[in-house]
Amino acid sequence: MNKQIFVNLPVKNLDNTMNFFTKLGYDFNPQFTDEKAACMVVSDTIYFMLIVEEFFQTFTNKPIADANNVTEAILCLSAGSREEVDDKVSKAVAAGGSIPRAAQDHGWMYTYGFADLDGHLWEYVYMDTAAAQ
C-alpha cells in the first residue's frame, strides 16, 4: 500500500473554500465531507482536509495561525508542465486568490503560487529532471 498524506487546514467559510478549489479543478470525497470539514482529493494518495476553524480548534491546544498575517507552511504540489503551473495560479486568482510573489524560473525548475481565501500559501512546481543534470 502506498503512503498517503492528509493535510489538515483551518478555513473560515467551508462553502466558499470548496467553491474556490472546485474552480481549480479539485473534487471532494463526499464520504468525508460534511458541514464541519471537506476532504479535497488531489490524487489517490494526497488529500487536504479543509476544516472549519471552530472544529479545527478541537484538535489542538495551540491557537490557530491567521495565515493572512503569518506563514504557517507553503503547500507545494507537483505539476506536469510549466503551463499547468501557470494555469492553476490563473484559476486561483480568477477564483479570488492572490499572488504573494512572482513566478520563480530556475531553468530546470519552475514554481509559482497563490494565497487561497484563508491566506494559506500554495505553490505548484514543474521540474525538468533531464535539464537538471
pLDDT tens string 40-79: 999 999 999 999 999 999 999 999 999 999 998 999 999 9
Q: Which domain holds residue 92?
A: 5-132
CA distances from 47 to 65, 82, 119, 130 (A): 21, 23, 19, 29
CA distances from 16 to 20, 25, 116 (A): 6, 15, 11
The domain that contains 128 carries what CATH number?
Answer: 3.10.180.10
Residue 24 grid cell: 481549480
- Using CB atoms within 10 Å of the CB of residue 30, give its burial: 0 to 12 exposed, 13 to 18 middle, 19+ buried: exposed
What's the average model confidence in pLDDT over 28-39?
98
What predicted TM-score, i.e. pTM, was given to this entire model?
0.91
* pLDDT of 133 above 70: no
What is the rounded CA–CA span in Å between residue 50 and residue 38?
Answer: 5
Name the CA dihedral angle for 74, 76, 82, 87, rounded to a multiple of 10 degrees: -80
Number of domains in the chain: 1
What's the average model confidence in pLDDT over 20-25?
98
